[in-house]
């Protein structure tokens, strides 16, 4: 009995949180695979280096700080420079990518008198080169301390993962709802392009880089309305004319892609103002999280409320589970369908705006084949393509699984072609798991449990 | 003895589906197998056809013990089952279907002319000269059934198992089928006939075996059994009455339908008073279900008026019908009533959510308390409110839907085949419920193909024929089934 209860709990755990477990395991795997010595740079690294420089023998003489261009390098350099300056040391800083640094350093006249050179891993070869040229031969090279830590789990990398999946995950909200109604929306990839191109074009038309905030708002609104209207049009075709969702949205996919090319005349549009990248590249001041990622989490929360707590959410499940029964229960099935397709289009439009903001341009090639990634995220998240079942949080997990796999394979130097193969297999595995969950898993676990009991009953009769 | 099943047992996880199954089939016999849902009939058939393997017991064909490890083994032994859901490919021709998987070939190519000739031969033998080039999808249900039987014969079937073969047939087609079956057994074939329709069982079967709770209770010859006795054997207790009594005085006219036309329904007018049960009888295709759907707004009407409590109601959709206090319990609960993948509670709540909600947010507490109230007052048996509707028994599914409509405050309740697929025991409970609703002053429209049900439950009966009302029976207590059929045909 205890054993049986344990097994049923296990099967519940696997079916309800299976995807979460997979995600955690993937994170563990990539953490182990990318474990290596990491430079402690940034503010903490600067602190440690400052301590060591300000004590001991090297407590005098000129100091040169050489850093690269990454955020943590910059932070490290700036902090150390300020601290040493405050401590009254004679200090100078050079920052830039290796090629430029090499040039710069060879031009600096005072290098010979430098006693200490502080450098990060990125710029170490350049410094070594400098020493090799027998300039600054007497200088002592200091690098920030190191610790063992997985590259995968570096805050910067995790931020990267989140950043990469934002657009997919946001659109996947709408796609989840569409798929729960037993539909599909193939047009989202093209809507990304259409929205990105529209916003760039409207911004250009309203004054380009010198556009006012109001102008940007108008452009955002225009792009969103355009995308939502396309979604609504698909919805209209599906509800009023009973065109299968696959066909209706396939057609809109072509139309939207075509319009995006027409608007942009096939070329990327670059004239976007500096402030426009706030959405895609900006971060909040407290957690340093990208604004778009925060937006994604907020949208997921709202979508969760919609699906779990509102009448409309319940209707979406009912329409997907049995449209005829739903209609006969007094639900306006067509209204529900119109809503999900419009929302899906709207979110695809938002995805396009975020992408335009991340890349500071709009091009008709954006979002190409994204519909497949979005559908993959929904499916991996456990939503059934036959409708009526699925969870919005599952989709978020699904998006993260795809993001983590891609990122992890990048970190472990697996080439793009192999990545595609792996990703395809993951999608297949997710669907198989879903089938198993519906048909087999509970039964098969129950099956093994039932055999002894069945046998004992056979012998007793 | 053509077939002998001896003391078979079969368990599935959590249920002992068959505790003791025994059955003997003689050559040339039509043997009926009856029992409530879950009595073990379908498991027994699946063992016979090799879908399931028994845990113990034996199956003998021609006094040779056989063990089927797959449906192919059973097929080879000459056992073929024809299910309610036909296993035909609608887009292929009759001939192609008849030889599906056993195509007649010459040099690797299909020999269509040979197949057609054989098809005509087999179909003529069944007295049904269908054109073998016709697409199966274009055939009527009864014609498709003939094709299924022909296919079984072409596969040299000697034991034919028919699962609810008359469920989708009109009375005339049932006659034809019975003629075919009687003819078939003359050639030494044995037929196992599974049906819920006891009148038909009594008509066609030579012997009847009753199953209850996984046990084959008794086999009786046709002469030794009555409808009432069969029900008693199936339920396992003696029945007082098949239908509960209880007349209530009728109030004012609740529902008035005036000249309703739409689809096959043509110019229908009638009234139902508060507390009255109006039975609607008629053959399949007479337009009864369509009439119900018109009143409920599920299909759009061409003309006509619907009046409720003396006020005209504008009904253009199920939504507006529900708002006006009309509800429909559809004949097909699984396709048109329930959302099977949702929970019992969700299904109950579906039509009421909006009324309970505040600013679009669901009111879980109210939902739960209303659900619990109905579960106890209607005695709905569920393991938890979150149990999926799919896993409820037919009777409980029906009650769940009744609960939903009671909650919407319906004044007019239309039952379309309320006891289809419901156990005999649960039927009585359903009848009690209908009576109770009538006593509460609801106007009830009862559509049924089961004439005993119509006669036993209704205060007044309308008989429909070809979309029109062909007759009305006011004195139901002295009416007979023949009387209704005379009007309906």
Residue with tokens 């016709």: B134
**8 Å CB contact of A328 and B337:** yes
- Residue A459 pLDDT: 31
Q: Would you call B175 an interface residue with chain A, using a CB distance cutoff of 8 Å? A: no
Chain A contact probe: residue of B342, B358, B359, B367 with most A CBs at under 10 A: B342
**8 Å CB contact of A312 and B335:** no
- Residue A245 pLDDT: 96
**8 Å CB contact of B342 and A446:** no
Q: Would you call A182 an interface residue with chain B, using a CB distance cutoff of 8 Å? A: no
**pLDDT over 80 at A411, yes or no:** yes
**8 Å CB contact of A450 and B12:** yes
**8 Å CB contact of A328 and B346:** no
- Residue A357 pLDDT: 92
Tokens read off for B396: 């409980």
| Sheet strands side by side (includes B3-12) | B64-66, B56-61, B3-12, B15-25, B215-221, B207-212, B30-34, B190-194, B159-163, B79-82
Which DSSP string corresponds to B94-105? HHHHHTTTS--E
Average pLDDT of chain A to the nearest whole number: 84
Average pLDDT of chain B to the nearest whole number: 89
**8 Å CB contact of B350 and A326:** yes
Contacts of A317 in chain B (CB under 8 A): 339, 341-342, 346
Q: Would you call B354 an interface residue with chain A, using a CB distance cutoff of 8 Å? A: yes
Contacts of A311 in chain B (CB under 8 A): 353-354, 357, 360-362
Specify whether the CB–CB gap between B328 and B292 falls below 8 A.
yes
Q: Would you call A339 an interface residue with chain B, using a CB distance cutoff of 8 Å? A: no
**pLDDT over 80 at A368, yes or no:** yes
Query: What is each CA distance from A461 to A447, A458, B7, B42, B158, in whole angstroms?
Result: 21, 5, 10, 21, 32
Q: Give residue A433's pLDDT band: very low, low, confident or very high (50, 70, 90).
A: confident
For B351, which residue in chain A has the nearest alpha carbon? A329
Mean pLDDT within B383-406? 89
**pLDDT over 80 at A243, yes or no:** yes
Q: Would you call B366 an interface residue with chain A, using a CB distance cutoff of 8 Å? A: no
Contacts of A312 in chain B (CB under 8 A): 360
**8 Å CB contact of B346 and A318:** yes
Chain B contact probe: residue of A302, A328, A339, A438 with most B CBs at under 10 A: A328
- Residue B193 pLDDT: 94
Q: Which of A106-110, A298-302, B340-344, B357-361 has the lowest mean pLDDT?
A: A106-110
Contacts of A389 in chain B (CB under 8 A): 341
How far is it, in rounded angstroms, from Cα B373 to Cα B376? 6
For A305, which residue in chain B has the nearest alpha carbon? B361
At a CB cut-off of 8 Å and minimum separation 6, what does A51 contact? none
User: pLDDT: is B351 or B394 the higher one?
Assistant: B351
Q: Which of A325, A446, A457 is closest, CB to CB, to B339?
A: A325
Residue with tokens 């596969």: B155
**8 Å CB contact of B322 and A389:** no
- Residue A446 pLDDT: 42
**pLDDT over 80 at A207, yes or no:** no
Contacts of B330 in chain A (CB under 8 A): 328
**8 Å CB contact of B335 and A322:** yes
**8 Å CB contact of B342 and A388:** yes
| 3-state DSSP assignment of residue B331 | coil
- Residue A457 pLDDT: 33
**pLDDT over 80 at B374, yes or no:** yes
Question: Which domains does chain A show, CATH number per domain?
Answer: 39-150 (3.40.50.2300), 155-443 (1.10.3470)
- Residue B160 pLDDT: 93
For B329, which residue in chain A has the nearest alpha carbon? A328
For A384, which residue in chain B has the nearest alpha carbon? B341
Chain A contact probe: residue of B8, B9, B13, B367 with most A CBs at under 10 A: B13
**pLDDT over 60 at A442, yes or no:** no
Which DSSP string corresponds to B336-387? II--TTSBHHHHHHTTTHHHH-BTTB--HHHHHHHHHHHHHHTT---S-TTS
Phi-psi region at A320: left, alpha or beta (left = phi > 0; alpha = psi -120 to 50): alpha
| 3-state DSSP assignment of residue B253 | strand
- Residue A1 pLDDT: 43
For B346, which residue in chain A has the nearest alpha carbon? A314
| 3-state DSSP assignment of residue B416 | strand
**8 Å CB contact of B339 and A330:** no
Q: Which of B338, B346, B408 is closest, CB to CB, to A314?
A: B346
CB crowding A166-184: b at 16 or more within 10 Å, else e? bbbbbbbbbbbbbbbbbbb
Q: Give residue A272's pLDDT band: very low, low, confident or very high (50, 70, 90).
A: confident
Over residues B17-49, the pLDDT tens digits come to 899 999 999 999 999 999 887 788 888 999 999
**pLDDT over 50 at A458, yes or no:** no
Chain B contact probe: residue of A12, A179, A330, A446 with most B CBs at under 10 A: A330
Q: Give residue A259's pLDDT band: very low, low, confident or very high (50, 70, 90).
A: very high
Contacts of B350 in chain A (CB under 8 A): 314, 318, 326, 329-331
Q: Give the count of Cβ contacts less than 8 A between chain A and B.
A: 102
Contacts of B339 in chain A (CB under 8 A): 317-318, 321-322, 325-326, 388
**8 Å CB contact of B11 and A450:** yes
Specify whether the CB–CB gap between B320 and B314 falls below 8 A.
yes
Mean pLDDT within A141-166? 86
Over residues B257-288, the pLDDT tens digits come to 999 999 899 999 999 999 999 999 988 788 99
Contacts of A318 in chain B (CB under 8 A): 339, 342, 346, 350
**8 Å CB contact of B349 and A314:** yes
How far is it, in rounded angstroms, from Cα B474 to Cα B486? 16
Contacts of A447 in chain B (CB under 8 A): 13
- Residue B129 pLDDT: 82
């Amino acid at each position: 009995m205890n054993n049986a209860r344990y097994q049923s709990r296990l099967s519940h755990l696997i079916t309800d949180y299976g995807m979460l477990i997979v995600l955690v395991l993937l994170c563990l795997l990539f953490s182990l695979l990318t474990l290596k010595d990491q430079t402690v740079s940034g503010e903490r690294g600067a602190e440690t280096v400052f301590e060591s420089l300000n004590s001991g023998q090297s407590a005098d003489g000129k100091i040169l700080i050489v850093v690269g261009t990454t955020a943590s390098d910059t932070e490290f350099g700036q902090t150390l420079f300020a601290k040493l300056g405050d401590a009254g040391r004679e200090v100078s800083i050079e920052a830039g990518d290796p090629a430029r640094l090499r040039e710069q350093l060879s031009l600096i006249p005072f290098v010979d008198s430098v006693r200490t050179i502080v450098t990060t891993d990125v710029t170490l070869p350049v410094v070594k080169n400098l020493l090799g040229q027998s300039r600054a031969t007497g200088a002592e090279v200091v690098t920030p301390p190191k610790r063992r830590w997985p590259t995968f789990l570096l805050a910067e990398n995790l931020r990267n993962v989140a950043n990469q999946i934002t657009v997919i995950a946001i659109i996947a909200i709408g796609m989840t709802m569409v798929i729960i109604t037993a539909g599909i929306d193939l047009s989202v990839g093209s809507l990304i392009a259409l929205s990105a191109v529209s916003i760039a074009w409207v911004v250009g038309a309203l004054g380009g880089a010198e556009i006012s905030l109001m102008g940007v708002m108008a452009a955002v609104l225009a792009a969103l309305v355009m995308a939502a209207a396309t979604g609504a049009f698909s919805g209209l075709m599906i509800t009023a004319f009973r065109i299968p969702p696959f066909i209706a949205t396939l057609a809109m996919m072509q139309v939207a892609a075509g319009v995006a090319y027409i608007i942009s005349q096939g070329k990327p549009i670059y004239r976007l103002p500096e402030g426009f990248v706030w959405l895609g590249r900006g971060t909040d001041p407290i957690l340093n999280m990208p604004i778009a990622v925060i937006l994604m989490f907020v949208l997921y929360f709202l979508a969760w409320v919609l699906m779990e707590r509102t009448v409309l959410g319940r209707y979406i499940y009912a329409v997907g589970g049995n449209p005829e029964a739903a209609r006969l229960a007094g639900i306006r099935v067509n209204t529900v369908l119109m809503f999900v397709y419009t929302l899906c289009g709207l979110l695809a439009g938002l995805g396009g705006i975020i992408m335009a903001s991340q890349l500071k341009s709009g091009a008709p090639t954006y979002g190409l084949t994204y519909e497949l990634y979005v559908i993959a995220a929904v499916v991996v998240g456990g939503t059934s393509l036959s409708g009526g079942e699925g969870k919005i949080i599952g989709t978020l997990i699904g998006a993260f699984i795809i993001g983590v796999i891609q990122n992890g394979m990048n970190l472990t130097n697996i080439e793009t072609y192999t990545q595609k193969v792996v990703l395809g297999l993951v999608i297949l595995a997710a669907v198989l798991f879903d089938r198993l969950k519906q048909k087999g898993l509970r039964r098969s676990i129950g099956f093994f449990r039932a055999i002894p009991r069945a046998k004992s009953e056979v012998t007793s009769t | 003895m053509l077939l002998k099943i001896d003391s078979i047992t079969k368990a599935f996880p959590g249920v002992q589906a068959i505790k003791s199954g025994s059955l003997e089939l003689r050559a040339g016999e039509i043997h009926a197998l009856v029992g409530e849902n879950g009595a073990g009939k379908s498991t027994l058939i699946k063992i016979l056809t090799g879908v399931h393997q028994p845990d113990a017991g034996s199956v003998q064909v021609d006094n040779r013990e056989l063990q089927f490890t797959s449906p192919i083994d059973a097929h080879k032994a000459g056992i073929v089952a024809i299910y309610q859901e036909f296993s035909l490919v609608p887009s292929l021709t009759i001939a192609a279907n008849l030889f599906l998987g056993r195509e007649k070939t010459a040099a690797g190519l299909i020999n269509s002319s040979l197949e057609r000739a054989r098809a005509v031969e087999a179909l003529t033998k069944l007295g049904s000269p269908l054109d073998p080039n016709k697409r199966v999808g274009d055939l009527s249900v009864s014609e498709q059934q003939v094709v299924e039987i022909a296919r079984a014969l072409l596969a040299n079937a000697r034991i034919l198992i028919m699962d609810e073969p008359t469920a989708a047939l009109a009375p005339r087609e049932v006659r034809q089928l019975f003629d075919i079956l009687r003819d078939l057994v003359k050639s030494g074939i044995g037929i196992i006939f599974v049906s819920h329709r006891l009148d038909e069982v009594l008509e066609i079967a030579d012997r009847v075996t009753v199953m209850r709770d996984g046990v084959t209770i008794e086999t009786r010859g046709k002469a030794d059994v009555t409808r009432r006795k069969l029900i008693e054997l199936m339920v396992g207790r003696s029945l007082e009455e098949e239908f509960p009594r209880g007349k209530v005085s009728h109030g004012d006219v609740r529902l008035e339908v005036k000249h309703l036309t739409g689809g096959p329904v043509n110019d229908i007018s009638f009234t139902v008073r508060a507390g009255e049960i109006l039975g609607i009888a008629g053959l399949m295709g007479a337009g009864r279900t369509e009439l119900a759907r018109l009143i409920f707004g599920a299909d759009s009407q061409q003309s006509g008026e619907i009046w409720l409590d003396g006020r005209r109601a504008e009904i253009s959709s199920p939504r507006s019908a529900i708002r006006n206090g009309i509800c429909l319990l559809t004949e097909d609960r699984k396709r048109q009533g329930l959302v099977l993948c949702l929970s019992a509670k969700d299904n109950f709540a579906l039509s009421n959510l909006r009324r309970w909600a505040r600013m679009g947010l669901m009111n879980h507490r109210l939902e739960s308390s209303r659900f619990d109230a109905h579960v106890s007052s209607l005695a709905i048996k569920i393991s938890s409110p979150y149990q999926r509707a799919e896993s409820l028994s037919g009777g409980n599914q029906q009650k769940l839907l009744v609960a939903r409509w009671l909650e919407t405050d319906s004044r007019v309740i239309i039952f379309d085949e309320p006891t289809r697929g419901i156990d005999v025991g649960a039927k009585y409970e359903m009848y009690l419920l209908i009576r109770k609703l009538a006593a509460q002053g609801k106007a009830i429209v009862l559509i049924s193909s089961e004439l005993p049900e119509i006669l036993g439950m209704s205060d007044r009966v309308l008989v429909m024929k070809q979309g029109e009302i062909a007759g009305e029976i006011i004195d139901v207590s002295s009416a007979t089934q023949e009387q209704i059929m005379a009007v309906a045909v």
